[in-house]
Amino acid sequence: MTQKQKRAITIQDISCVGRCSLTVALPILSAAGIETVILPTAILSTHTGGFTGYTFRDLTEDIDSVCAHWQELGIRTDALYTGYLGSREQQLQIARIFDDFGEGDPLILVDPAMADEGRLYPAFDTAFARGMRGLVAKATLTVPNITEASFLLDKEYPGEDYDRAWIEQTLRELAALGPAQVVLTGVSFEAGKLGAAAYDRISDKTGYYFTERIPGYYHGTGDIYSSALLAALLNGKELFEAIGVACEFTVGAIRRTAATGNEPRYGVDFEHEIGHLLSMLGIA
């Protein structure tokens, strides 16, 4: 018998140009066979990294009524997935949505998309970063980069100056905030290699996956990573395998973009990697 199709609700902004947040989550999850319900939190002409003059329409006022309608319809979900959010108020709203759609114990993935390279994104302040901790506390899985982990834990950002012990301690501290599973992205212990570290609190296991490091800063790759990770988990991969699938997919998209010389602020060519993702998931 064919399995019942999985459903995910993803809550993030629409950056119309720049391949991040919903414009990557929706195609990646859909291609992986997951019915993807979207809850846009804001509409921007572009994302906020590397562009100036972008428009921003906040959709906070619409969120509660959209969810009320879904509740009337009895919508249930296998996963809730949040990324870039517009405001502190949205963090509180979304914490309530996690409760409202909590029936059946869905996987709750909170990607605390708010910072990179030691700095918060332009729209955010430390109150927002502190608020993100409250949302992470309600997650079953969180996927921060090292900068985000530092903000979540009020630790000094280590730059490149960390070791295995620091990573494993940080994974445990993040899990102690609430989520049983944690994936840290952007981890590197040797020149030319970059990857992810994962921790599962229930089994007390840690795992790593590394690929080639392609020099440069590419926008939206955190969102691509989290979306592919969720696609892998909802297709039955266990955490330590899923981190590798997401790494290979993301680096493949970066490699293609680096080869063309396209401007990194427009995001990476994940579209041509979708076939690769589906073959890694064994569904094409």
Q: To which H or E segment does residue 26 belong?
A: helix 22-31
- Residue partners of 95: CB distance under 8 A and separation at least 6: 134, 135, 138
Minimum distance between the CB of residue 143 and ligand PXL, rounded to whole angstroms? 11
**H or E segment to which residue 186 belongs:** strand 181-187
**With CB under 6 A, what is the number of residues at the site for ligand PXL?**
15
Q: Which is nearer to ligand PXL, 42 or 243 (CB)?
A: 42
CB of 22 to ligand PXL, least distance (A): 9
Query: Residue 134 interacts with ligand PXL (CB under 6 A)?
Result: no
Neighbours of 3 (CB within 10 A): 8
Least separation in angstroms between CB 81 and ligand PXL: 13
Least distance from C-beta 206 to ligand PXL, angstroms?
26
Alpha helices, DSSP H only, in 106-208? Answer: 126-136, 146-153, 164-177
**Helix, coil or strand: residue 263:** coil
- Tell me the one-letter amino acid at 13: D
Binding test (CB under 6 A) with ligand PXL, winner from 38, 88, 89, 121:
121
Among 6, 11, 13, 149, binds ligand PXL (CB under 6 A): 13
Give, in order, the Cα–Cα distances in Å from 165 to each of 34, 75, 115, 215, 273.
37, 43, 23, 25, 34
Binding pattern for the stretch 166-205 against ligand PXL, x by CB under 6 A and - elsewhere: ----------------------------------------
Touching ligand PXL, residues 204-243 (CB under 6 A): 220, 222-223
Q: Euclidean distance between the first and final Cα of the chain, in Å?
A: 18
SS3 category, 99: helix
Residue 99 CB-half CA count within 13 A? 7
Site string for ligand PXL, 14-33 (x = CB under 6 A): -x----xx------------
**Residue 84 in the binding site for ligand PXL (CB under 6 A):** yes
Whichever of 44 and 67 has its CB closer to ligand PXL, that residue is 44
By CB under 6 A, residue 113 contacts ligand PXL? yes
Sites of contact with ligand PXL (CB under 6 A)? 13, 15, 20-21, 44, 47-49, 83-84, 113, 121, 220, 222-223
